[in-house]
Every structure is written in C-alpha cells, then in structure tokens.
C-alpha cells in the first residue's frame, strides 16, 4: 500500500487496546477514524493523542452490533476522512457468568458485539476495499477463543468465531489483495484486569514465561505489523500476544 493519505478505522478506540492501536497506527502515518459507542470523552482523548502524531483524527459514534449503523459508519468515514485502507475490529465487551446461570440476554449481547460486530464492519468495509484492490482487516480475538475459560462461554465463543470468520475472509478476499488476520492477546493490563483480586493477578502472572502481563501497546505493535507492507504476504493467520502463556495449550 502506497505511502500518502492513508486511513485506518479502529473500533472501540476510546481506551485500552483500541486507543493504543489508534496511536500506534498514527505513528505509522495513518489518519485515524476513532470509533466509540458510549465513551465520547475517551474517544476524543484518543483523537487528541492521534493528532499529536501529526496526522488527522475524526471521531465516529456507532454501535457495531447494528448492521445498518455499521454501513453508515463506513460511508461517513469514506466521505469525511478518506478511503479506508485498514480496519481494526477491536470493539468488544464481556458479561461473565457460569454457563448454567448465563442469561440469553448476556449471551446475545456479547455475541452481537464481539462477533457480529466484526461481520458488520468488515462486510461494509470490504466492498470499497475490493474496488480499490487493497486493504487490511485485523480483528482482535483472545487466547480464550482457543482455550476456553470458566464463566466466559459467551466471550470465548465470540472470540473463537472471529478465528473462523477471519480465515474465511482471507480466502475470499485474497483476489482483491485484501489480507485478513487476527491478533489474540493473553493477559493484558486493563481496567478489567485491574479489578481482579491480587491473588488471581499474581497467579496469572506466574503462568507467563516472560514474567509480566502484556500491555495494550504490545498488542498495538502486532496490529501495526499486520497493517504494514512487511505483512503483505500474511493472511488468514493468528498472531498470539501473550508472553508465552498459552504455549503448549493451543
């Protein structure tokens, strides 16, 4: 993909991994479409951080679980910011409960956001990418999609679904010079992990061969690589970013 005016969409970019991906891609010269659902203040802070890297940023509110809203999101970005070359599907949430206690509502909410959201956004972004015969689709999954995790049947299913979807996209979109890959983080420092009891945090850390939890920036570096020209011949792959935590279990 040629250097010049380049646009990347990052969904769920108001904080955490999404924000780190937006800033890292900005460092690579991409103008950034910052998507959020509810945290407008966080999204605007991300945009300010992106602009500090000398590129453009625009904020776009959208519920990616909506097929129609996702179409409108892609249309707006293409009109207001420019042709999208990279899509990072990061938007996601969790509603944890043991399987026998999980409600239908909690199942649907997680699947609709984490998995259907990837379908919705890439469904509409792939069309203009195909016309231009170039593009990168990068989805954020989780090692939980491989290993499972008690209390996270909905989350694990959604993240596993991303793997199958992406591998299919890779095969269907290759003729348009569009690559589709997954980044699967492990134990990453975040607001969610900060709430875990200290003993659980220490137990998780002890399972990481590199001896530390990951950061949002660790994930963002992997995303930036897959978005780069250096990854032009990589598609349908999963890049696990977990410090070796899942080694031997996948």
- CA distances 198 to 149, 151, 193, 201, Å, are 19, 19, 10, 5
Contact status, residue 181 vs residue 239, Cβ threshold 8 Å: yes
Asked if 155 is an active-site residue, the reply is yes
Dist. CA 83–CA 136, nearest whole Å: 12
Which is the catalytic residue, given 155, 176, 187, 233?
Answer: 155
**94 conformational bin, left if phi > 0, alpha if psi -120 to 50, beta if neither:** beta
Closest C-alpha to 62, from 19, 33, 96: 33
Question: Reduced to 3 states, what is the DSSP secondary structure of residue 30?
Answer: strand
Cβ-in-10-Å burial (0-12, 13-18, 19+) of 69 comes to middle
Cβ neighbours, 10 Å, residue 17: 27
Tokens of 149: 């995790």
Contact status, residue 127 vs residue 73, Cβ threshold 8 Å: no
Contact status, residue 13 vs residue 89, Cβ threshold 8 Å: no
Contact status, residue 114 vs residue 93, Cβ threshold 8 Å: yes
Residue 110: partners with Cβ closer than 8 Å, 6 or more residues away? 93, 94, 95, 154, 155, 158
Catalytic residue positions? Answer: 155
């Amino acid at each position: 993909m040629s250097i010049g005016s380049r646009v990347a969409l990052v969904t769920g970019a108001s904080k955490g991994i999404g924000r780190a991906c937006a800033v890292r891609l900005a460092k690579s010269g991409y103008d950034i479409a910052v998507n959020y659902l509810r945290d407008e203040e966080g999204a605007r802070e991300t945009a300010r951080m992106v602009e500090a890297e000398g590129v453009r940023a625009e904020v776009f509110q959208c519920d990616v679980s909506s097929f129609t809203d996702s179409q409108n999101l892609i249309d707006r970005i293409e009109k207001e910011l420019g042709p999208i070359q990279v899509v990072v599907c990061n938007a996601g949430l969790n509603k944890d409960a043991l399987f026998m206690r999980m409600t239908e509502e909690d199942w649907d909410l997680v699947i609709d956001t984490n998995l259907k959201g990837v379908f919705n956004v890439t469904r509409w972004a792939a069309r203009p990418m195909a016309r231009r015969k170039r593009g990168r689709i990068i989805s954020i999954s989780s090692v939980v999609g491989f290993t499972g995790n008690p209390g996270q049947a909905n989350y694990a299913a959604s993240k596993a679904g991303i793997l199958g979807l992406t591998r299919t996209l890779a095969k269907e979109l290759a003729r348009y010079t569009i690559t589709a890959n997954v980044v699967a983080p492990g134990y990453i420092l975040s607001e969610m992990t900060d709430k875990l009891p200290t003993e659980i945090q220490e137990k998780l850390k002890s399972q990481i061969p590199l001896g530390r939890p990951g950061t949002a920036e660790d994930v963002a570096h992997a995303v930036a690589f897959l978005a780069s020209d250096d990854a032009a011949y990589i598609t349908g792959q999963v890049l696990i970013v977990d410090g070796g935590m899942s080694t031997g279990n996948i």
